Amino acid sequence: MGNTAPFLLPKAPKPKRARARVEPEISWTHVPRIEPGQYPARSRKANVYFDRQFKRWVCAVQFDVLDSSLVEVIASLTWFLNLGPREKPKATRRSKFWTACLKANGGQPKRRDRITARIFEGRYAVVRVEDTRKNHRQIAVNRDECYSVIRDVIEWQTGGPSR
């Protein structure tokens, strides 16, 4: 009896499995649509940023639109205010931002150098909600493609300057 290794058959190649095709998950932002009209709302945050697509400064005020009981949130919508295409944001007297600041402040700012988007934060208001009419390419959209945005604040109900 010698040291003979048993005869080994070569391993059969494994059948190639089809690779499972992994598609990346595509994310998107859901923007709700509610019926146009006036609603009570609470502002959460105001943020000033430079919009690269439109090449301008924008103030975006985020609101939680509430039901008539002022408890349940119907939708979270954003109010966009233009601050111009300059190197720094600028509120001109003819801008919606300036008008909104005057309404929120109850008059002109006390100091010439002090104007901030924080005046819109953490306050209750009555807002006017409308549907978008155009897309980002300024092309008219139909009812299926539109979404709700805040066009204006009718009345600020809380906050503001203490007099």
Bigger pLDDT: 87 or 110? 87
Transcribe 85-136 into DSSP letters: SSSS----TTSHHHHHHHHHHTSS-SSTT---GGGGTT-EEEEEEEE--B-T
Say how many residues make up the chain.
163
pTM (predicted TM-score) = 0.74
Q: Is the pLDDT of residue 141 over 50?
A: yes
Average pLDDT over residues 20-41: 85
Domain-by-domain residue ranges, the chain?
Answer: 38-156
Question: Which residue has tokens 């139909």?
Answer: 142
